[in-house]
Amino acid sequence: MNNSENSALMALSELKNLEADRVRQEEEARLAAEAAERHAREEAERVAREAAERRAAEEAARLEAERVAREAQDREERLRIQEAEARARAEQEARLKEEQMRLDAQIKLSEEKAKPKWPLVVVPILVLGLGVAGFFWWQSVKQAEVEKAQADEIARKQAEALEAVTAQLNNLAAEQERMSNERSQLEKDLEAAKGDENKQKELEAKLKALDEKMAANEAEQEAASATSGVKRKGSSGKRKSSSSGGGDGGASDPPKSSGRKNKLGLGSGDDPLGGI
């Protein structure tokens, strides 16, 4: 009995599987048909759209060609009208000029018969003399203007160079003042570090390096002043590097250097830049 039930169940299961396969195949066939139909519809729409776009492009090109042709025709027509008007004006001007020349010739002939001959010689000579005098006067004025412009340009360049050198010296002086203040602080720190040999050596090295920088800055100021002709008022005194003391192991007190004042004086002479 169990075998027959198992066989029946298997047969039923097989029937269900076959039915499921049939349903699945029908669904797949339906989906494939729908996809094919959708693809065909989309393809037809694409072809129709491309045809419409092509017709629209051809129509636009035709309209553009017609517009260009109309513009060219209008331009040619305007040119023909302008040329005809220009020829008419030229002919009218030529006739008027010819008539004016005829009238001028008649008037000149009448005047020559009526007026004396001496102004024909005196007047041109006077005009020529005035023209020559005016030319020399104009030439002298132009020469004076050129010389003034050259002098103004030289003065401007000298002023700019002096301003640049002055700014450089001011910057160097400000840096020297800052380093002088830093040196004073190092001297105070060195005084406070008596008894600490390592600290003293470190501070002395910093002080030595700072002195070298200050000497280089001062040399740069001297070079700039010598080049530009600008005199510096006030300078720091000579600095002496601190060294470790004798028996008590302390450092000798280094003399304090005075800060460099930011004051500049102009050199004597007509050229404030000394030929720069």
DSSP output for 154-196: HHHHHHHHHHHHHHHHHHHHHHHHHHHHHHHHHHHHHHHTTT-
Instruction: Compute the 3-state secondary structure of the chain and give helix, strand, coil in percent, each to the nearest 5.
Output: 80, 5, 20
DSSP string, 48-116: HHHHHHHHHHHHHHHHHHHHHHHHHHHHHHHHHHHHHHHHHHHHHHHHHHHHHHHHHHHHHHHHHHHS-
Burial category of 114 from C-beta neighbours within 10 Å (exposed 0-12, middle 13-18, buried 19 and up) = exposed
100-113: per-residue pLDDT in tens?
898 888 888 877 76
Range of lowest pLDDT (26-30, 75-79, 223-227, 265-269): 265-269
30-81: per-residue pLDDT in tens?
999 999 999 999 999 999 999 999 999 999 999 999 999 999 999 999 999 9
Domain count, the chain: 3
38-50: per-residue pLDDT in tens?
999 999 999 999 9
Mean pLDDT for 11-27 is: 87
Per-residue model confidence (pLDDT) at position 211: 93
Range of lowest pLDDT (35-39, 133-137, 243-247): 243-247
Same-domain pairing of 169 and 106: no
Per-residue model confidence (pLDDT) at position 145: 87
Same-domain pairing of 153 and 176: yes
**Residue 115: which pLDDT band, with cuts at 50, 70 and 90?**
low
**Residue 247: which pLDDT band, with cuts at 50, 70 and 90?**
very low
Same-domain pairing of 106 and 206: no
The more confident residue out of 140 and 55 is 55
Percentage of the chain beyond pLDDT 70 is 77
27 domain-assigned: yes
276 domain-assigned: no
Domain boundary among 107, 126, 141: 141
Same-domain pairing of 178 and 127: no
272 domain-assigned: no
Same-domain pairing of 74 and 90: yes
Same-domain pairing of 55 and 164: no
Same-domain pairing of 194 and 205: yes
Considering the chain, what is the average pLDDT of its residues? 78
Which residue range is the domain that position 177 belongs to?
Answer: 148-266
Same-domain pairing of 121 and 81: no
Per-residue model confidence (pLDDT) at position 73: 93
Per-residue model confidence (pLDDT) at position 249: 37
Mean pLDDT for 172-198 is: 89
Same-domain pairing of 121 and 109: no
**Residue 275: which pLDDT band, with cuts at 50, 70 and 90?**
very low
Q: Which of 165, 167, 191, 172 is nearest to 259 (CA)?
A: 172
The more confident residue out of 154 and 7 is 154
1 domain-assigned: no
Residue 203 reports pLDDT greater than 50? yes
9 domain-assigned: no
162-177: per-residue pLDDT in tens?
788 888 888 888 999 9
